[in-house]
Amino acid sequence: MEIWINPACSKCRGALTLLDAEGAEYTVRRYLEDVPSPDEIRAVLDRLGLEPWDITRTQEAEAKELGVREWPRDDGSRERWIEALAGHPKLIQRPIITADDGTAVVARTDEAVRDALGR
């Protein structure tokens, strides 16, 4: 499995602590440094079963500057959201774990991390 993290994020650190405690094998992707491409974001969204606005941190300063809270949330706007996430990775919700079974979870709770471990 792979986990997308921001090391400054307490939720990310908590997820890593839990993965380590469970003896999980995983790779870390510091997504602010190793920015996902639009194609990678699309793939993760497919695995999550979510839309880009579902994983956008709308309270971030960059989100407010872009005005994303006002953007339409429909099929016609999907690519605009994806491009915003690729261009401003700080807006991506974290941590995201991609599980070995091809699924993914936004792992902001211990329960979500355990769910990913069980896949």
Positions annotated as catalytic residues are: 9
Dist CA 98 CA 102 (whole Å)? 7
Cis peptide bond upstream of 52, omega within 30: no
- Residue 30: phi and psi, rounded to 5, are -85, 90
Dist CA 117 CA 77 (whole Å)? 33
User: What single-letter DSSP state applies at residue 103?
Assistant: -
Cβ–Cβ < 8 Å for 63, 69: yes
